[in-house]
Structure 1
Amino acid sequence: MEQKAKRVGKFNIIDIIAVILIVAVVAFGAWKLLGSSGGTAAEDGGMVKVTYVVKCEGVPTELYETCQAHLPSPLMASGALVGGQIESVEMEPYYVLGPDGQWIEDPEHVTLLFTATTETPAGEVMTTKVGDQEVRIGKTDYILKSEYIEFSGGTIVDVQWEGLAEE
């Protein structure tokens, strides 16, 4: 019994390394969880308003008027509102290849251009996200989802960041 009490108070090099590793893992986890800067995005650089356009092709014609009736509509992701909204929708003709090899307008389908706005934290490296999806020009397979509207397979054709300093 007396010998066990003496062993508890002694540390060897392996014990010291184990304690240092545990402290390092806890510190790294806290740093990742709280963020490297210590402040919130709004405190560090503010928020930037982002306006982007999503192009959805081959949509049934009657959906244009239905979408207009539900605008503006708050943006959603994973069943929760994410901030921002779909502001407007524009309609363009949808073209298909005819039997003679010429492009002809499809009377039953249209191309819809949705304009949406959101706010994103400003930073040195800016990643604009709506929910889990990044907003970048040229991104295909974008899912535009709101309280009443959902289209998948959209392409982001324009992104504007307001209040961003030009360098």
Structure 2
Amino acid sequence: MEEKAKRVGRFNIVDIIAVILMIAVAAFVGWKLLGPDDSIGAERAMTKVTFVVKVEGVPAELYENCVNHLPSPLMASGALVGGEIVAVEQEPYYVLSAGGEWIEDEEHTTLLFTAVTQTPTAEVMTTKVGDQEVRIGKTDYILKSEYMEFADGTIVDVQWGE
């Protein structure tokens, strides 16, 4: 025995569901294409962000190598992300001796990298370089550029604007 689908006017229930789904998909695609323009090419006000990353316990000979490669474009996930490392400063690195005294470790140093980038201006400034947020006190920051990479950095200063 044949069962006929329930009909509403000229359409059955399956046809109505299919039409609703097509309208929903078309509305979603239209919203994505014509909605707020979040693309990189859109004209947006940008804010200059300068931040300092402190990396401790670095072999001392790396300081000169870093200086020789400045300025160095910032990278994340194998792609340039806009911005660059513009300066590096060197500070002594201290370790605890067997006698309980802090002594300078001649083989290691502390490096302070200054980086500059641009971020879209917003009411709440969320600065990102690649997938990493830039916030004072953030530890485990990976500072990566075209020529150098340092893990376990700590962001010690952030300046928004000129």
Q: Which residue of the partner structure matches residue 115 of structure 2?
A: 116
Moved more, 19-28 or 57-66: 19-28
Tell me which amino acid in the other structure corresponds to 1:114.
Answer: F
Query: How far off is 1:18 after superposition?
Result: 6.1
Provide structure 1 residue ranges, at least 5 long, that are not aligned to the other structure: none
| Mapping 1:8-157, distance limit 5 Å | 9-12=10-13, 16=16, 19-20=19-20, 23-24=23-24, 27-28=27-28, 31=31, 33=32, 37-38=36-37, 43-44=43-44, 46-157=45-156
TM-score, structure 2 normalization = 0.82
Tell me which amino acid in the other structure corresponds to 2:55.
Answer: C
Query: How far off is 1:76 after superposition?
Result: 0.9
Query: How far off is 1:87 after superposition?
Result: 0.2
- The CA RMSD over aligned residues, in Å, is 2.9
Query: How far off is 1:134 after superposition?
Result: 1.0
Moved more, 83-92 or 17-26: 17-26
Q: Secondary structure at the match of 1:68?
A: helix
Alpha-carbon distance in structure 2 between the residues aligned to 1:124 and 1:36: 20
Identity %: 68
Report how many residues are paired.
Answer: 157
Distance 1:101 1:60, change over 3 A: same
Tell me which amino acid in the other structure corresponds to 2:130.
Answer: G
Distance 1:143 1:11, change over 3 A: same
Alpha-carbon distance in structure 1 between the residues aligned to 2:59 and 2:17: 65
Alpha-carbon distance in structure 2 between the residues aligned to 1:37 and 1:99: 62
Query: How far off is 1:133 after superposition?
Result: 1.0
Higher helix share: 1
Alpha-carbon distance in structure 1 between the residues aligned to 2:78 and 2:98: 43
Alpha-carbon distance in structure 2 between the residues aligned to 1:99 and 1:35: 67
TM-score, structure 1 normalization = 0.80
